[in-house]
Amino acid sequence: MKTTKRQAVTKHGDLNGLPADLLAWFDRHGRDLPWRTALGERRDPYRVWLAEIMLQQTTIPHGTPYFLTFTQRWPTVEALAAAKDEEVMTAWAGLGYYARARNLLKCAREIAERGSWPETAAELKKLPGIGPYTAGAIAAIAFNQPAAAVDGNVDRVFARLLALKGNWADEKKRLHAEVERLVPAKRPGDFAEALMDLGATVCTPTKPNCLICPVSDYCLAKAEGEPERYPIKPPKKAKPIRRGAAYVAVHKGEVLLQRRPDKGLLGGMLGLPTSDWVEGERPEPSPPFKASWEEIGDVRHVFTHFDLRLTVQRADVSRRPNADGVWVPLDEVEGLPSVFAKAFRLATAG
């Protein structure tokens, strides 16, 4: 009797055979990343945790240099815990989502104070800045705990495997339960990393490469012929636009920088003086001091919840004005958050 496509997809009955097939593929094709160790070697929880925090909302090519810098400068969680806040925030600049950096320090100091890492996902979730995914990843990868690590890559892989078409919030619960059920007792960390690699390199958001996928026989979306339509999520809301101004004040080869308040967006970071950032019309000018300000142009930066448009203004002054902040030589300006780095480059180009 001829085997139908549907029968071929469901030849295992369910996904029970998937972990073994996926791990066999991972043993041959797993990515070589600086926070990973050779197969079978114990992972350092500090390096696992640091990588997971850095790679939230960040690509591997962008995040890797930061990981290497941090681990060279602060090779242990105790070393990071002892670092000054401003040093860590400056080293983090350019990675974005600066609340992660503040929580990174809080978490490091809590671990250093307790003297050891908790090893279960439930205990790890109690630490600052560690959510369900990160807790599961650390527990599985660093401590060989049978924990699930479900990120966006894993959501996409299992939405396709199961061809989930219902309400996304409900389907995510089903998806997470299925991942948890499949975590193998002997290699939970490798399973977590294998799923990450599969989603990042094979089962990609667009043009998934089903021909080389090690688990395509299980995939109902492939059987339908439209894997790229999954996951089916509600449309994203348009981000509001906020507007403001950034001020680049230059005096004898130095620029004025100001420390932002500890709480709030970009809290504790050194940046350019700015106006308020408001929705609607551009706010009234609010430079840090009176001067002949020249409008240079605009920069745009995308935050998690809004788009920001800043008009960049520059003033060259012959006398150092009385203004809050510090004056830094132009050629020594580094570690600015991306939005301020864009404004600074625009105002000092040429």
Per the structure block, which two tokens stand in for 118? 């908790």
SS3 content of the chain, % helix, strand, coil (to 5): 45, 15, 45
- Residue spans of beta strands (DSSP E) within the chain: 241-251, 254-259, 270-271, 278-279, 294-302, 307-316, 326-329
Residue type, 18: L
DSSP-based three-state secondary structure for 290? coil
| DSSP β-bridge partners for residue 329 | 254
Q: Count the alpha carbons within 13 Å of 335 in the hemisphere toward its beta carbon.
A: 15
Q: Is 350 exposed, middle or buried (0-12, 13-18, 19+ CB in 10 A)?
A: exposed
Annotated catalytic residue: which of 52, 171, 178, 193?
52
Integer Cα distance of 152 and 133 in angstroms? 10
- Amino acid type, 176: H
Strands 241-251 and 307-316: parallel
CB atoms within 10 A of CB 159: 24
- Written as one letter, the residue type at 328 is V
Residue 250 tokens read as: 């230059």
Please say if 52 is a catalytic residue. Answer: yes
Residues carrying an active site annotation:
52
